[in-house]
């Protein structure tokens, strides 16, 4: 009787962790700029004063290198958008269906004590062992005499 085994594998998206990190890192410079504007006494409701503050004040990173605060806001916005894009990617679900061939019950005979027992093999496994030309299989322990032997296939 044919059987089928259904496997469902979910591919995890490691980019979601990166997206979360980028979103948080993108918020950091924007919050720093807004805190700097707030400590300077600029109201967030006065957009012209906030806009002037972003273009006139500079942020120095050291060695005399500085740039306007608007560039921090633009950089933070780009990082947030890229982080949100990575978060928006869906985890794709891969479904794999594997069909197993028929299981056959094979009667084996011990070469030492002539004891017979049954084991289950698939058709592909029997073909790989060279059945029906080769009627002996790999070593097994006989249940009766407890010796290792290469049993003979008596019937399928």
pLDDT, tens digit (0-9, with 9 covering 90-100), for 50-78: 888 988 888 888 888 888 889 999 999 99
Q: HSE on the CB side for 120, CA within 13 Å?
A: 4
pTM (two decimals):
0.50
pLDDT, tens digit (0-9, with 9 covering 90-100), for 120-144: 887 777 788 777 777 788 788 888 8
Q: Are residues 90 and 19 in the same domain?
A: yes
- Last residue of one domain, picked from the residues 94, 128, 145: 94
Q: Are residues 35 and 69 in the same domain?
A: yes
The whole-number pLDDT of residue 136 equals 82
Strand partners, 97: 6
Nearest to 20 by CA among 82, 73, 93: 82
C-alpha 26/C-alpha 102 separation (Å) is 57
Q: Are residues 84 and 22 in the same domain?
A: yes
Q: Is residue 5 part of a domain?
A: no
Using a 10 angstrom Cβ sphere, with 0-12 exposed, 13-18 middle and 19 or more buried, the burial of residue 113 is middle
- Least reliable range by pLDDT among 46-50, 93-97, 114-118, 148-152: 93-97
The whole-number pLDDT of residue 10 equals 56
Q: Are residues 141 and 78 in the same domain?
A: no
Q: Are residues 57 and 121 in the same domain?
A: no
Q: Which of 27-31, 87-91, 152-156 has the highest mean pLDDT?
A: 27-31
For residue 53, the tally of other CB atoms under 10 A from its CB is 19
Q: Are residues 122 and 86 in the same domain?
A: no
C-alpha 153/C-alpha 135 separation (Å) is 5
C-alpha 115/C-alpha 108 separation (Å) is 8
């Amino acid at each position: 009787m044919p059987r089928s085994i259904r496997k469902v594998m979910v591919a995890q998206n490691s980019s979601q962790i990166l997206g979360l990190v980028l979103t948080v890192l993108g918020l950091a410079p924007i919050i720093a700029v807004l805190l700097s504007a707030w400590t300077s006494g600029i109201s967030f409701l006065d957009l012209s004063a906030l806009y002037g503050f972003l273009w006139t004040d500079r942020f120095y990173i050291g060695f005399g290198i500085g740039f306007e605060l608007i560039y921090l806001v633009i950089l933070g916005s780009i990082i947030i958008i890229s982080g949100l894009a990575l978060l928006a990617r869906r985890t794709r679900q891969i479904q794999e269906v594997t069909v197993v061939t028929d299981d056959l019950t094979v009667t084996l005979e011990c070469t030492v004590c002539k004891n017979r027992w049954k084991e289950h093999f698939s058709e592909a496994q029997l073909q790989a062992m060279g059945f029906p030309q080769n009627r002996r299989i790999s070593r097994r322990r006989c249940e009766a005499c407890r010796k290792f032997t290469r049993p003979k296939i008596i019937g399928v």
